[in-house]
Structure 1
């Protein structure tokens, strides 16, 4: 079995629960903590757009609420239902990259997927080079 199959399935299942009535762009994320446990999250839109929540942030919140604080890897799964074959990548937004940075090392894998599977993998450092993190605050 593909080592990412469990992350993909968790992200796929939670993506279906996303609340995206405005953009219709559902996103699911699944984090594997250092313990091996998987923490899923989905985007939750709001009529007042700035107060919505990203899938990655939801997954991080669940991880922290469960007592874990280290991300081993994360998978982000997103596409517009009307265009599932669109070739673009649904990478974490800038705010989510910084949220991930709080709990992940520069080499942490971030897998980007579409309905067919993994489209590309990055390290956190590739998505957020020369980042500001907890160690900067000494």
Structure 2
């Protein structure tokens, strides 16, 4: 009987852990002139959203969402030719840095590579 009661008490805790949500903050910054740059990021387990970044060098973009699985948090920042710049990409999970990339991004003219001029950060995006 005690074993049966103990098992029953564990089930609600397990259900709560499975339903736990995580606060995700996406941060992107282009440290240079690169008009038309965009950030694409996960907004739930299967969908992305895209935002145009400020054309002012050093302006920070920030977006927030909630995900059940923080391992699915991913973002990419795309610059378009002929612009190149240092790019900062950061993903915070529950106010802790989970992924961070700082890299110089230089798109190549005429490239057919879909990742040309793209800085990935965190989990890969669907279709990327």
- Indicate the TM-score class for this superposition, using the shorter chain for normalisation: 0.3 to 0.5
Which structure has the larger Rg over C-alpha atoms? 2
TM normalised by structure 1 equals 0.36
The structure with higher relative contact order (CA 8 Å, sep 6+) is: 2
Write 1 or 2 for the structure with the bigger share of strand: 2
Q: Comparing both structures, which one devotes a greater share of its residues to helix?
A: 1
